Amino acid sequence: MGAEGAGSRVLSGMRPTGRLHLGHYHGVVKNWVALQHEHQCYFFVADWHALTTGYDDTVELRQHTFDMVVDWLAAGVSPSAAVIFIQSKVPEHAELHLLLSMITPVSWLERAPSYKDMQARLNDRELATYGFLGYPVLQSADILMYRAGSVPVGADQVAHVELCREIARRFNHLYGREPDFEARCEAAVRKMGRKASRLYGDLRKAFVEQGDGDALERGRALLGEQRNLSNGDRERLFGYLEGGGRTILPEPEALLTKQAKVPGLDGEKMSKSYRNTISLREVPDAVAHKVRGMKTDPARVRRSDPGEPDNCPVYSLHEIYSDPATLEWAAGGCRSAGIGCVDCKQPLIDAINAEQAVMIERGRPFEEQPDLVHRVLQEGSEKARSVARETLDEVRASMRIAHQ
Ligand code: TRP
Ligand code: SF4
């Protein structure tokens, strides 16, 4: 919530895992590409996050970062629409992480579902580290740094965004009180003009005294419409409306990406660790070869056996790639044994390759001239850094650790 202008900012990060596959594309990156034209977007490589679990093997970190960013660019994430950067190139993230760590109770972190889960799942590694426990605080710093309103994430990350909200709330509660807060608010209210000031006063009273949630929403909308308020005043009035202090770090919302279920070649979830992936920018022959080798409905042993598309991972891919007529052709032909699996797979191969052709083309210059990628990241990181510096100036000032 918080200031409306900043509220429309979108931020998301991804660990540097190297080349991406169709699961990443349909689950995450496609959504980023759509968002970048609607909102001010910040997308970054979470390389410090990679260290929270992978500190013992950093040999490929740089290469993985490069490969992943080339895939983002190939998939259509555009440096002219979104700010693309690397976390470690914006060291302000570390400072904000440190400051937030001072106010975050350890019990909040131990409660995070990923903490115990991941420790159990990655039991070959020592994960009882300080960095791993604190990684949701680092993630909170990533988000709060840009005052992001929405954070597109998968279901596994929603708990972290929730924790980020709690940290922001605690921060605002602790440091959002200026000595002359009320006087400043009253002065800001007067700048809105007589009619709007009166309405703001009434709505504030209705919420603070009677808990009228509707009044709170209307009050927020009213502030969003005001042209004469500075950002500082607007944030003060958002906080005052709720009966609290100034909102220094607005609370973000998780934007739950509806996770397109992308099956791997073996029918399990597509994942690098299962070695069942089709990569982005895979060459046409490789795509054809992989799809031809894909598992199908296990009940369909012979060409003459009818099959059930709902039990077939090939059909799940058709659902992502094919138009209604092709879907009907595949499902009908499968159930009647009118078509064979080889026939069924061909239009899918063609559709994946048509999509990949665009990405191969778009990725080529970046692959051939790595400096283009480095420049994108350098420029993005500088842009991100100037926003980060502003946030930190305010954070330090509100914590009273800004010195001459
Ligand atoms: N923790 C996320 C993951 O493991 C990556 C990430 C880091 C992130 N910082 C973020 C995602 C901020 C969204 C917002 O996938
Ligand atoms: Fe799967 Fe198509 Fe074969 Fe049916 S015909 S089992 S949907 S590949």
Q: Stretch 334-342: mean pLDDT, rounded?
A: 96
Measured in whole angstroms, how far is the alpha carbon of residue 283 from the centre of its chain? 28
Residue 131 to residues 105, 122, 358, Cα–Cα distance (Å):
15, 15, 40
Cβ-count burial 312-323 (b if 16+ within 10 Å, e if not) = bbbbbbbebbbe
User: What is the reported pLDDT for 7?
Assistant: 46
This prediction's pTM:
0.86
Q: Taken in order 267, 271, 275, 279, is the CA torsion positive or negative?
A: positive
Ligand 1 atom closest to the Cα of residue 14 is: 5
Question: Whose CA is closest to atom 11 on ligand 1?
Answer: 13
Class of domain 281-366: mainly alpha
Question: Whose CA is closest to atom 8 on ligand 1?
Answer: 13
User: What is the reported pLDDT for 79?
Assistant: 97
Q: Taken in order 6, 160, 89, 32, is the CA torsion positive or negative?
A: negative
Could you please state the CATH topology (level 3) that the domain comprising 6-176+250-260+369-399 is classified under. Rossmann fold (3.40.50)
Tell me the C-alpha distance between 145 and 11, whole Å.
10
Residue 147 to residues 105, 134, 390, Cα–Cα distance (Å):
22, 20, 11
Task: Tell me the CA–centroid distance for residue 350 and ligand 2, in Å.
Answer: 16
Domain chopping of the chain, boundaries: 6-176+250-260+369-399, 181-241, 281-366
Ligand 1 atom closest to the Cα of residue 138 is: 9
Q: Which of 344, 346, 348 most suits a substitution to test ligand 2, by most atoms within 8 Å of the C-beta? A: 344
At 404, is the pLDDT very low, low, confident or very high (cuts 50, 70, 90)?
Answer: low
Enclosing H/E stretch for 384:
helix 370-399
Task: Tell me the CA–centroid distance for residue 279 and ligand 2, in Å.
Answer: 22
User: What is the reported pLDDT for 259?
Assistant: 66
Q: Stretch 19-37: mean pLDDT, rounded?
A: 94
Pocket residues: Cβ below 6 A from ligand 1: 11-15, 46, 49, 139, 142-143, 151, 153, 157
Q: Stretch 9-31: mean pLDDT, rounded?
A: 95
pLDDT > 70: percent of the chain: 98
At 339, is the pLDDT very low, low, confident or very high (cuts 50, 70, 90)?
Answer: very high
pLDDT digits (tens, 9 = 90+) for 242-264: 877 788 999 999 998 776 679 99
